[in-house]
A = this chain, B = another copy of it.
C-alpha cells in the first residue's frame, strides 16, 4: 500500500526513529488501521535500501538506543511525485460485500443473497450512527473530521448499493442460476 509514502511524509518534518513514526502514523491518520511495529522497521529497511532515507544517527534519551532516519533528496522527490500524482479512480471493485453477494447468487440462491443483504444493511446503519455522533464531538481535529467524512460517505454509498441490489435481487427468483 502507501505505508511507505506516509512514512516518507512523516519524515518530511525532520528525522525520526521507528517507534516514533508508528505513533505519529496512528495519530495523524485517525481511522486508519494502526501500524504494527514490525512493519515500520521493515518498511524503513526497504526505504533505506531504495535510497529514500538514511540513518541520521543514534541517540538515547532515557531508554534504549534509537536510530533516527531522515529523508534523502531522492526521498523528497519521490514524496513530491506521489503527492502530485492523481490516483486512478476505482480501477477495480475490490469489496468483500460485493463479492459476497455475487458468490451468494452463484453458489446459493437469491434468498441467501437477500438474507445477507438485509443483515449487512442493519450493521451498516448502526455503524453510521456511531460515526455520525463521533464526528460531532467537540474534541474532533481536522484529521478526525475529514476521516469521519470519508468513512460516512462510503458507508452511505454501501447502504444505497445494498438497497438497490436488494430490490434487484428481489426481482429474480430462480432466473439467476444461469
Contact = CB atoms under 8 A, between A and B. Distances in A.
Contacts of A79: 107
A10 interface: yes
B32 A93 contact: yes
Interface in A81-138: 82-84, 86-108, 112, 115-116, 119-120, 122-124, 126-128, 131
Interface size class of A (residues with CB under 8 A): 35 or more
A106 B147 contact: no
A147 B127 CA distance: 23
Q: Quick one: copies of this chain in the complex?
A: 2
Contacts of A97: 87
Contact of A98 (B8, B10, B150, B165): B150
A145 interface: yes
Nearest to A71: B107
Interface of A: 1-2, 5-6, 8-10, 12-13, 28-33, 79, 82-84, 86-108, 112, 115-116, 119-120, 122-124, 126-128, 131, 142-143, 145-147, 149-151, 153-158, 160-161, 164-165, 168, 172, 176
